[in-house]
Structure 1
Amino acid sequence: MLEIGMKNTAETVVTIDNTAKAFTSGALEVFATPAMIALMEETCWKMVQPELEEGLGTVGTKVDVSHMAPSAIGKTIICEATLIEIDGRKLSFEVVCSDESGVVGMGTHERFIINNEKFLAKANK
């Protein structure tokens, strides 16, 4: 059952593969903003998926985050997501990513509950 206040955490280590240079979102070997956003989305969908009926899933529809501090290769990034609103099929989350030095990014993320089969059929039209 989905409930406001649910939380989930996920983590990753900064490697050469998730740097701005690797993502071509910048030239430096620091944790990439697209990698941070992917970690935030992963943390959110993995929180709610076990609570959904068979055949349902979620898709990300909005991300509003700030990437406020760099994280070098070798740092561990921990993301904490909190479900803050349920509005019909729309789920809203607060997300915060931190490393050993403190908060590196934060913001909000929205996902919509969808029927997987219908969504894929629509995408394949």
Structure 2
Amino acid sequence: MINLEDFLAVGQNAIARRVVQQSDCADNYENDFKGLLSTPRLIHWALDASIEAIDPYLPDDYASISLGVSFVHTAPTSIGMTVTVHAAIIAITDHDVTLDVKAWDEQGEIAHGTHRRAIVLKEDVLKKVEERARLLMIRQANEQIKEMN
């Protein structure tokens, strides 16, 4: 495993800026808040900013993956407004990074929270995916055999 502090530092940060479009709104969910930025989309943008604060600085064979998000969406934002999301590294441990995330529009803060990301070898993740897929195929084959008997 690499020493993360060789590549990352507390305070390192990134910004994602987006103009709210119809596709970003709560219209995609069963609710009465049509034309307002949805929380899932805002979290997506927070993840984008977090990735941008970490991944470009890692060796090519490493990447970050999400471990968890604690996020509070505090104010509504409508179509056409610009949302800025800032993610800054606040802690680095042996294999994961914690970021402070803040979001605002032209009227002020709209959300805040923290996001944890693990630093992993891409190859290890792909091997796990292959193994899980293989086990699923075996289970499905066994179920088909049981149904035939």
Of 58, 62, 71 in structure 2, the residue corresponding to residue 56 of structure 1 is: 62
Q: 1:50 to 1:18 in 2, by over 3 A?
A: same
Alignment gaps of 5+ in structure 1: none
Deviation for aligned residue 1:21? 1.4
Identity of aligned residues (%): 27
Deviation for aligned residue 1:26? 3.6
Instruction: State the alpha-carbon separation in 2 of the partners of residues 118 and 25 from structure 1.
Output: 38
Deviation for aligned residue 1:25? 6.3
Taking the TM superposition and a 5 Å limit, the aligned residue runs for 1:7-22 are 7-22=13-28
Q: Which is bigger in relative contact order (C-alpha 8 A, separation at least 6)?
A: 1
Q: 1:105 to 1:113 in 2, by over 3 A?
A: same
Normalised to the residue count of structure 2, the TM-score between the two structures is: 0.80
Structure 1 runs (4+) greater than 2 angstroms displaced: none
Aligned residues: 124
Cα RMSD for the two superposed structures: 1.1
Taking the TM superposition and a 5 Å limit, the aligned residue runs for 1:16-95 are 16-22=22-28, 24=29, 26-28=31-33, 29-95=35-101
Post-superposition Cα deviations, 1:64-99, rounded to whole Å, max 9, x if no partner, equal 010000000000000011100001111000000000
Instruction: State the alpha-carbon separation in 2 of the partners of residues 62 and 4 from structure 1.
Output: 19
Alignment gaps of 5+ in structure 2: 1-6, 132-149
Contact (CA 8 Å) 1:25, 1:32: kept in 2 or not?
no
Larger Rg: 2
Post-superposition Cα deviations, 1:12-54, rounded to whole Å, max 9, x if no partner, equal 11111010112x2644221110011110011011111121111
What's the secondary structure of 1:2's corresponding residue?
coil
Bigger helix share: 2
Instruction: State the alpha-carbon separation in 2 of the partners of residues 123 and 111 from structure 1.
Output: 18
Bigger strand share: 1
Tell whether 2:106 aligns with 1:100.
Answer: yes
